[in-house]
Amino acid sequence: MACKTLAALGAVCAISGAAMAQGVPMGWGTGYGQGVLQALVRAPGEDSYIAFNCSTAEFQQGPSVSVQVAGRPPEGRHTLQLTVDGQTLPLPLLNGVVNGNDRDAGVQTAARALMTSSSPTFTAQIPDLNWRQEFPLANARTALREPSGNTIVDQCGPRR
């Protein structure tokens, strides 16, 4: 019995691995925890992601974008460039986070561009790290939109 179970488990793992190797599209997901509403998309086959966040937590209030590249947030100051429908949107990145409370950070503009795009993908890159990744836009509209029709970061601001 144990051998049959192990054989079945091995077959499932082999099928899952083959599916991932063929580039099964990954979509956007949403979640809420510890005072943060988040819409996140992971890169297929790589431990990288981009997340749009609306936080009311004490440590970071307001809108932000967080980035992970190959399993880690990029350290230091960089520029995250999101290319959506041929338009490149530069976002100031500090230790893996774009702080949307900073004037002209572009978090809301980027979220709206992704939410309204009709393209199947968008590109994120951090030129000085030689990192470039294509992400799917499948269901981004659903993940980034709040019931009012705005994005999850549009009305997000520090508590007063």
Domain contains 14? no
**pLDDT confidence of residue 59:** 65
Domain contains 34? yes
Which residues form the domain of 129? 25-144
Q: Which residue has the tokens 């991932």?
A: 20
| pLDDT tens, position by position, 46-86 | 789 999 998 877 666 789 999 999 999 999 999 999 999 99
Domain count along the chain: 1
Domain contains 58? yes
Cβ neighbours of residue 29 closer than 8 Å, sequence gap 6 or more: 39, 40, 41, 143
Domain contains 65? yes
Domain contains 159? no
Domain contains 17? no
* Alpha helices in 64-132, H assignment, sequence order: 107-116
CA gap 160, 158 in Å, rounded: 6
Domain contains 11? no
Q: Tell me the CA distances in angstroms from 134 to 2, 46, 137, one per residue in order.
A: 42, 11, 10
**pLDDT confidence of residue 16:** 28
Domain contains 87? yes
Q: What is the CA radius of gyration of the chain?
A: 18
pLDDT tens, residue order, the chain (160 aa):
434 333 332 332 332 233 333 343 468 999 887 778 899 999 877 789 999 998 877 666 789 999 999 999 999 999 999 999 999 999 999 999 998 877 667 999 999 999 999 999 999 999 999 999 999 998 898 899 887 888 888 877 654 4
* pTM for this entry: 0.77
